[in-house]
Amino acid sequence: MTDLVVTGGTVVTAARSFSADVAIADGKVEAVAPGLVARSPQAQIIDATGLLVMPGCVDVHTHVRLPSDGEPDRFYDDSVAAAFGGTTTFLAFNNPGTGISEEGAGSLLRGVQEFRDRTEGESAVDFGLSAVITGRHEDPIADLPALVASGVPSFKAFMVYDFRLTDDRLYEVFRAAIIDALVAGALAAGNVAARYHAETRPAYAEAEATHRAIALARAAQAPVYIVHLSSADALAEVVAAKARGWPVYAETCPHYLALTAARYASPDEGEVIRSVISPPLRTDADRRALWLGLRAGGLDLVASDHVPDRLAVEKRMPAPPFPEISNGAPGIETLLRVVHGTGAARGEISGERLVDVLATTPARLFGLPSKGAVEVGKDADLVLFDLSAQRTIRQADLHHYSDFTPYEGTVVAGSVRTVLLRGRPVIRDGLFVGRRGAGRFLERIPASTVARD
């Protein structure tokens, strides 16, 4: 029996847009067709006239932090922020600093169980985990089959930082040396300001790391997923590999599509610190190349790389030497509005491609078959999106755990009006009506991908 009908809207899928009603029963999409209201006289009705009806976004790259005794709401707050942004599913990484095995050591399996225990009953939307494999783990390779069996089939291997893997371990599952040398040179010259973070992480280093990751994956006959790709040079490596038919996939992030390295020239040190991310922001030519990559298929999806840093803590002033500044910025709530406002609304990509890169492809690549599309049998995770609205992004209006946004003052077209999670409203007319614990931990099916930092 139909529980709810969303009527009058324009349904947007990765393939097409069309006028239709969406009927929902038991949390699933039951039918997508015109005239469903007349067939379901007892159902609840949501009027979507003038709105797009899209699948909920699937954000596969976040660093949402676990609740702690001192900060019990940080995981929940970011899940609420995801809902406000139209994201109904997110994946978190369990790398050091997120609250899971803070020293980064021990068993991967213990870390997964810790994540599940500490997030139970916390999230307002559905969520999952991607495992981070570091050189500090006891025997990460031995844990991989059991991780897959436990619903965690994607792994991230770092090629930088002091917990990176050596090449022999990467082969089993040369950016580091370049960056280490540039950082050491900058510090020796007394160049410690925040802007040197970007200068010591050039695009050619990212391209080299991308080439190396692809080569190692090719040698191991494994697919590879390149995270937070930021430059035209790195994109060229991915495009070349795809042209050879190799199983290479790549994401970029909203900040690389909307912002540029011009921020690092600001006389306001606070603005520079807020823009310290890895990889750093690139040139406008790189930004344009990334949009082209999304249009042409060189890039597969967009994810937030959300890090809930705060100006009062991780990005405090006066700034320490740049290697000590936290590399990250919040983005879980602004993912859809920034990609739409700076992309689809300006003709960079179509509405169908927007749905593809934010929902359909992420769900497919990361083993979430019930997510990412407005189709019969899928979870009824829906976003009602108002194209006519224009909003200015302001920290005061956001709900994430962070105390700033890198998009402060950015005017974007489009606004999330209503969000359904498995057929139940989480956001209704811009207000949160969900509940803590409504989100479920998702055990994913293997997609045989490995992520590279």
- Distance, in Å, from the CA atom of 269 to the CA atom of 315, rounded to the nearest integer, reads 11
pLDDT at 211 over 50: yes
Q: What is the DSSP letter of 379?
A: B
Mean pLDDT of 85-107: 69
pLDDT at 336 over 80: yes
For residue 7, list its beta bridge partners: 47
Q: Which two tokens stand for residue 25?
A: 């029963």
In this predicted model, which residue has the larger pLDDT, 444 or 349? 349
State residue 252's pLDDT score: 99
In this predicted model, which residue has the larger pLDDT, 385 or 177? 385
Q: What is the DSSP letter of 441?
A: B
Query: 73-82, 162-171, 244-253 — which is least confidently predicted?
Result: 162-171
Model confidence band, residue 169 (pLDDT cutoffs 50, 70, 90):
very low
Q: Give the range with max mean pLDDT: 157-161, 194-198, 296-300.
A: 296-300
The answer, yes or no, to whether the previous bond of 279 is cis (omega within 30 of 0) is yes
% of the chain surpassing 70 pLDDT: 84
Mean pLDDT of 34-47: 94
Mean pLDDT of 343-360: 99
- Distance, in Å, from the CA atom of 386 to the CA atom of 345, rounded to the nearest integer, reads 12
**3-state DSSP percent of the chain in helix, strand and coil, to 5:** 35, 25, 45
CATH 3.40.30.10 fits 56-368+390-408, yes or no: no
Assessment of whether the complete model's pTM goes beyond 0.95: no
Under 8 Å between Cβ of 208 and 175: yes
In this predicted model, which residue has the larger pLDDT, 98 or 320? 320
* Alpha helical stretches, state H, 69-201: 74-84, 108-119, 140-149, 167-172, 175-188, 196-199
Query: 129-143, 201-215, 232-246, 326-340 — which is least confidently predicted?
Result: 129-143
